[in-house]
Structure 1
Amino acid sequence: MAGAVAAPRAAVAVGPAVVGSAAVVPAVDREVRFVADGTTAYGTVHVPAHRAGRRLAAALLIPGSGPTDRNGDEPPGLTPHTLALLAGALGGDGVMTLRFDKYGTGRTGLGGRHRAPDMAAYTRQAVAAYDTLRAQPEADPRALLVVGHSEGGLQALLVDRAVRAKPAGLALLAPQDVRLLDMVGFQVADGLDRAVRAGRLSPEQAASNKKGVARAVADFRDGRPVDTSGLLPSVAALLGGMFGPVNADFVRSDDALYPPAVARGVAPGTRTLVTCGTADANVPCRTVPALLSGLAAARTTGPGLRVLPGLDHLLHRAGTPAGEPVLAPAARRALHGFVRPWRQGAVG
């Protein structure tokens, strides 16, 4: 499903440089487009400097939840550049990448939809992106990788399940590892507990809201009307947005997936990385073991789990402003170790 490739954005040499007897092709970013379900999506392929004629390991980068674009941003308010930084880190190891504007973001938009697509549509879009990456002239079809952050980690598992040419490796960075609404439930509960410790909420109020959230989730899952009356305004607004007509189809389709069960279907021998940050309030390390068990049952290989001390969900050191465009050294090291079999290093 590869689309037309436009001219490179970055200025590049007219021809390959020559170092000794080997020609070096300079690094370049180029725009690509591809079609999924009749909607054109847009993305960026980053090709690091490499020896002429050499095929490169190639990684598809998949963003997290919400309107997160090809760079890992939700502009204008949140611009950590997570995926752009991952592309740069991988490029330093000689791995080319493709990152794309998923539905509702960047140049892609919603493709005429009036509500969020369901999870299967996002998977089909990611599969089309994977096929586009595989078709790039520099890509080594035997060294295809998928790197997913947050919800993108679950999506990486779904791409592996959907494609015929299986990835050689999956990097699941702070991945969604439980059902969506279970995750929302413990995130809200943790937030309520923090409010109690800070003196902003009474224990009784926190307990009442936890029960109300559990009831609302159960009603939504069973197809009953959801009543958020009596909940804190912030909690009611969160649930109303998730269960309302714009997002309900997506939420229901995501919540139907149990990531550890999906992980059991990963192709045997696939090299996997799973990270968790000890300061991650969104996907805490305590929820990871079931996902790891699913990957073990699939007979995947290492490096496996890498615990990242002091890192939050955006792969920042705890306390770093959310919009700071930085990737913590511990996250870089974990990624560096993951791509060890495919590293080529800087060229030129």
Structure 2
Amino acid sequence: MTRRQFYSITMISLSILLFLSACGGQAPSQTLSPNTTVTQSQRDVTYPGVDSVTLAGTLVIPAHQKGTRVPGVIIVAGSGPTDRNGNQPGGLTTNLDSQLADQLAQQGIASLRYDKRAVGASSSFPRAQNPNQPTAAEIKALQDFFAWDNYVGDARATLSELQQQPEIDPARTALIGHSEGSIIVGEVAAMDKGLAHPAAALVLISAPGRPIDVILREQIAHQLEQQPTIPAGFVLSKLDEIFAGLRKTGKVPTAPFADLKANSKVPTQLTQNLEVLFQPAYNEFWYGELQVDPAATVKHYPGPVLVLQGAKDVQVFATEDTPLLDAALKSRNPDDHLIDIIPNTSHNMKLVQNPATDPGIAGQVVLECTNTLRRWLAEKLSASR
């Protein structure tokens, strides 16, 4: 597999949302005495992820009183080759994660965001001597590298790294995940009992409430609606066969791709895109993620949860996914969660002026998102709690 092939893979595409806050401005920033203040800073960090992978990230430390420790969060990016800032090769530039980090620093909250494995300055994937003819052992090495559990483990390692920083109060740390990243942090929060300091709060942004096969099928169906000459029912039936094979055997079946190639009405490029998305190197990734029901998982996290969802998100839906998360969280006893569905906002928490022409990728994160996030985390990570 080449780096270009890896970069072409995005399982959940990005979008946007907006709404001015009720008070019409940003949440108030911290005010500190200049005589006792350590100024805001940031530094690049590297630390071990799962199976000898080195993760690279950016740690932002807000201005704070000398001799005190501050609360902090980790920010886990969405699907595909997304870097620490929320961007991907090929021009997909959202800067979502870096903007969130800047806003949180103004609230006195530190953050650690990182390049996912095989992205940016983090460790790359194991290379085949001949990428066009990898050996069975080389394919297995790739499958192990990209296993779903490794992404969850990398997020857990990032939380641990944050908690070990001298400026951070480890008891006041939280998890933030965007899109597929919300599934990852949901698993870390709900399933991981091994940390000395479990996450004190959980933030889910543009979060799926349904399993990944349902989400991806819906996304592809939506794209096929824009191409009336393509036999959508046939393509979706083959996608169903792919997921069924993965669930049953842990491997991508080959027959659906042969059927797609044999149908002259299915564009060659569409079949090739699916072959890249479901290439053998990703067997363990897909199999692992298919085992996760995001709503069922998150209800096992006992702490406070914030769900931020754009009303004009066309990747994850406020009408389909958010109600499932809401019901799951309400089933907890006791329950502490807040859901904010933000008008005119995309998957990437950006303003959508015209859905027909504006995908909501560029620009600043909408004020309602940052204001709600800042105030909620300031309360949940308060030293007085």
> Does the aligned pair in 1 maintain the 2:148–2:285 contact within 8 Å?
yes
1:341 aligns to 2:373 (yes or no): no
**Alpha-carbon distance between aligned partners in 1 of 2:359 and 2:336, rounded to the nearest angstrom:** 32
> Does the aligned pair in 1 maintain the 2:345–2:360 contact within 8 Å?
no
Q: Decide which of 181, 187, 195 is 1:158's aligned counterpart.
A: 187
1:74 aligns to 2:88 (yes or no): yes
**Alpha-carbon distance between aligned partners in 2 of 1:321 and 1:261, rounded to the nearest angstrom:** 30
> Does the aligned pair in 2 maintain the 1:279–1:311 contact within 8 Å?
yes
The secondary structure found in structure 1 opposite 2:274 is helix
> Does the aligned pair in 1 maintain the 2:72–2:162 contact within 8 Å?
yes
Question: What is the Cα-based RMSD across aligned positions, in Å?
Answer: 2.3
Query: Which residue in 2 is equivalent to 1:310?
Result: 344
Query: Which residue in 2 is equivalent to 1:249?
Result: 284
| Structure 1 unaligned blocks of 5 or more | 1-17
Question: What amino acid is the match of 1:140?
Answer: D
> Does the aligned pair in 1 maintain the 2:61–2:111 contact within 8 Å?
yes
Query: Which residue in 1 is equivalent to 2:110?
Result: 96
The secondary structure found in structure 1 opposite 2:280 is coil
Q: Decide which of 316, 319, 334 is 1:283's aligned counterpart.
A: 316
**Alpha-carbon distance between aligned partners in 2 of 1:296 and 1:235, rounded to the nearest angstrom:** 41
Aligned length: 318
Query: TM-score by structure 2 length?
Result: 0.76
Match runs of 1:135-284 below 5 Å: 135-160=164-189, 161-162=191-192, 163-164=194-195, 165-193=197-225, 195=226, 200-201=227-228, 205-223=231-249, 224-228=253-257, 229=260, 230=263, 231-266=266-301, 268=302, 270-284=303-317
**Alpha-carbon distance between aligned partners in 2 of 1:175 and 1:272, rounded to the nearest angstrom:** 12
**Alpha-carbon distance between aligned partners in 2 of 1:214 and 1:111, rounded to the nearest angstrom:** 29
Question: What amino acid is the match of 2:307?
Answer: V
The secondary structure found in structure 1 opposite 2:93 is coil
Structure 1 position 213, deviation (Å): 2.6
The secondary structure found in structure 1 opposite 2:256 is coil
Question: What amino acid is the match of 1:139?
Answer: I
Question: What amino acid is the match of 2:200?
Answer: A
The alpha-carbon distance between structure 1 residues 226 and 243, as it changes in their structure 2 partners (threshold 3 A), is: farther
Sequence identity of aligned pairs in percent? 24
> Does the aligned pair in 1 maintain the 2:173–2:381 contact within 8 Å?
no
> Does the aligned pair in 1 maintain the 2:208–2:321 contact within 8 Å?
no
| Structure 2 unaligned blocks of 5 or more | 1-31, 127-140
The secondary structure found in structure 1 opposite 2:46 is strand
Query: TM-score by structure 1 length?
Result: 0.84
Higher relative contact order, structure no. (Cα contacts within 8 Å, ≥ 6 residues apart): 2
Structure 1 position 301, deviation (Å): 4.3
**Alpha-carbon distance between aligned partners in 1 of 2:125 and 2:215, rounded to the nearest angstrom:** 29
> Does the aligned pair in 2 maintain the 1:73–1:81 contact within 8 Å?
yes
